[in-house]
Amino acid sequence: AQKITQTQPGMFVQEKEAVTLDCTYDTSDQSYGLFWYKQPSSGEMIFLIYQGSYDEQNATEGRYSLNFQKARKSANLVISASQLGDSAMYFCAMIHWGNQFYFGTGTSLTVIP
């Protein structure tokens, strides 16, 4: 069975600093995808970044980068230069395309001015 683990229920970061949100996953499949989504208090699920299991380079999207360590089965999200608007829940998720799309339990990030 596939599983996503986010061990940090809550995180605090000073504005303008970088923060790493941890995510580990468990799968026996070779082909899968890893996502990070942001969910602000308004509730919508906002796509941040994606990493395919065969991608050799770490994904980057603006201030977001995904530290993908396949052998360790980790896909940590790094947010650089945190902004107040980054305060939200962050979900790591994994998919085997066309099938279930598993979410972790989320990390609540608070950016402190």
Binding site for another protein (CB under 8 A): 31-33, 35, 37, 43-47, 50-55, 91, 95, 97-106
Tokens of 29: 């499949």
Q: Looking at beta carbons only, is 30 or 113 nearer to another protein? A: 30
76 φ, ψ (degrees, to nearest 5): -80, 140
SS3 at position 86: helix
Q: Looking at beta carbons only, is 14 or 105 nearer to another protein? A: 105
CB 94 within 8 A of CB 33: yes
Minimum distance from residue 113 beta carbon to another protein (Å): 25
